[in-house]
Structure 1
Amino acid sequence: MERTGAGFRAATMFAAATALALSLTGCANVDATAPSAARTQSAGGVQARFGSVDCREAKCIALTFDAGPSENSARLLDILKEKHVPATFFLLGKRHIEKYPQLVRRMAAEGHEVASHTWDHKILTRIEPDEIRAELERPNEEIERLTGQRPTLMRPPQGRTDDTVHDICRELGLSEVLWSVTAKDYTTTDSDLITRRVLAQSSRDGIILLHDIYQGTVPAVPGIIDALKERGYVFVTVPQLLAPGTAEPGRVYRP
């Protein structure tokens, strides 16, 4: 889902529209681990980059952004810095990481979790294992080159995954992260509507899916943050949401 030409946009918008049935929770039949279950896997506290947060006690929620970086990401990072909110970025490689390397570095430097959304947004369940491996390895290599940290998390395009994807992720040291909240921001430029959709679906341990590549999304973020903070939510990255447990390679995580 990228903004790199009318034909590509039209194709990806069509693909998104055909996946609406999956858009709330990703693949409906996936055996996923909830954050609360992940937290029971380990004992002890967690020291987060944005301060000490224990989601066993706090009312936590994770803000995540797919398919960037884009021309909108610098403004988004300004907002997150001003609001003292960490996020998890699932980045695309082609025409994104390779076009905005300075924003990838900034995301990592400012304490956000930098993860993979594949190199070219191919639907992983439709391609051969060698292609899956390439789609996952290439962004990891670029992110590690830019930030010094190799991603441990990925989000499959459209949330589509299967046992073959799980096995390759396990081999590459990656955990899969789906979501529980979506604004379907690929269908609207109405920032108020995006805000209402997020607020209507948000609950404790939620994982919010947004895309900073769309024009209506970033303007909605301040209102989403303020409203959820008013409701008592604490924003965390996905690893913080799972702590003191840790994401296991080959596993799928979803509230």
Structure 2
Amino acid sequence: MRRAASVLTLGLGLAAGWAAAQPCDKPVYLTFDTGHMGVAPLVAQVLQRQGVKATFFLADERTLDGGGSLDEHWAPWWRARAAEGHAFGSHTWDHVVWRGDERGAFRMQPTAGEQAGQRLTMDEAAYCAELKKPAQRFEAMTGRKMLPLFRAPGGKTSPALLAAAQRCGFTHVGWAPAGFLGDELPSERYPNDRLLAQALRDIRPGDILLAHLGIWSRKDPWAPAVLEPLIEGLKQRGFCFATLREHPKYAALAAGR
């Protein structure tokens, strides 16, 4: 009886390993930008439960407890996500939003940090420092390196900004139109059930999906109602999940080639 049970256990293990090794021919790439971090613990639980790896873009944004999303309070959370095999990129340190180009510089507006809300002029070196600081902090927290990828806050860029980021060692990552999951939209006009149905209807293989770890303006949080049903619904439709390390556009960068 013990031998039969051992054989059964081995068989199940081999089957699970075989299933995990199957090629993913309908991948989607789930990404999260930082925010107030209010749903971060729930997001981590759902990803663990569903066996999904995601890519996180990090900025030091104001959190519900008055700290920052990259402060010591959150360091264990980031270490745990790194140990689980998720991927990470920069979202600029102070979540600086591009507002326009100037000769040799950029008009920027931070939404975090001591200068939040102010209009600033940043030269290329200052913007490069904004990109690098989350990577430096992430390595200090986790002992691991970020991918050479960044997402501009709001997705707002210009050719000059993207070229400056490239010279700094960072390639920009946006999202697919259908991958805009809507968690930053007003819940009175875009309720969670509508956002879920829209995503399940419109997402296509290869899409990069965008959500956040907390949005101040949304009254009915998206993640508790939508994240797990979305993952389950996409799996039922034959989709699978990968990080941007596996994305054909970014895999060589991630591998250092």
TM beyond 0.5? yes
Aligned runs of 1:165-204 on 2, under 5 Å? 165-180=161-176, 181-189=179-187, 190-204=191-205
Question: Is the 2:55–2:88 Cα contact (8 Å) retained in structure 1?
Answer: yes
Question: Percent same amino acid among aligned pairs?
Answer: 29
Residue aligning to 2:70: 97
Q: 1:175, CA displacement in angstroms? A: 1.7
Q: How far is 1:166 from its partner?
A: 2.3
Higher helix proportion (structure 1 or 2): 1
Task: Specify the alignment match of 2:153 in structure 1.
Answer: 157
Q: Which has the higher contact order (CA 8 A, sep 6+)?
A: 1
Number of the residue aligned with 2:240? 234
Post-superposition shift, 1:70?
0.7
Aligned length, in residue pairs? 198
**Corresponding position: 1:81 with 2:76:** no
Q: Which residue of 1 aligns with 2:221?
A: 216
Is it true that 1:62 corresponds to 2:68 in the alignment? no
1:122–1:243 Cα change, 3 Å? closer
Measure how far apart 1:65 and its partner are: 0.8
2:78 partner amino acid: V
**SS of 1:81's equivalent?**
helix
Q: Does the CA contact (< 8 Å) of 1:61 and 1:205 recur in 2?
A: yes
- Out of 61, 79, 84, which is 1:110 matched to? 84
Amino acid at match of 1:199: L
Decide whether aligned partners of structure 1 residues 245 and 66 sit closer, same or farther in structure 2, where only a CA change above 3 A counts.
closer
Q: What TM-score do you get using the length of structure 2 for normalisation?
A: 0.69
What runs of 5+ residues in structure 1 fail to find an aligned partner? 1-50, 249-255
Q: CA deviation at 1:153?
A: 1.5
Amino acid across the alignment from 1:238: L
Q: How big is the shift at 1:141?
A: 0.7
CA contact (8 A) 1:93 1:138 kept: no
Match of residue 140 from structure 1: 135
Instruction: After superposition, give the CA deviation of every residue in 1:13-60 in whole Å (9 maximum; x if it has no partner).
Output: xxxxxxxxxxxxxxxxxxxxxxxxxxxxxxxxxxxxxx65755xx111
The match for 2:111 is none
Distance 1:213 1:195 in 2: 17
Q: Any stretches of 5+ residues in structure 2 without a counterpart? A: 1-19, 62-67, 101-106, 109-121
1:69–1:153: structure 2 CA closer, same or farther, 3 Å change rule? Answer: farther
Equivalent-residue separation in structure 1 for 2:38 and 2:151 (angstroms): 21
Change in 2 beyond 3 A, CA 1:52/1:168: farther
- Secondary structure at 1:145's aligned position in 2? helix
RMSD: 2.5
Preserved contact between residue 92 and residue 131 of structure 2 (Cα < 8 Å):
yes
Moved more, 136-145 or 166-175: 166-175
| Structure 1 residues 78 and 223, CA gap change in structure 2 (3 angstroms) | same
Partner Cα separation in structure 2 for residue 144 and residue 243 of structure 1: 24
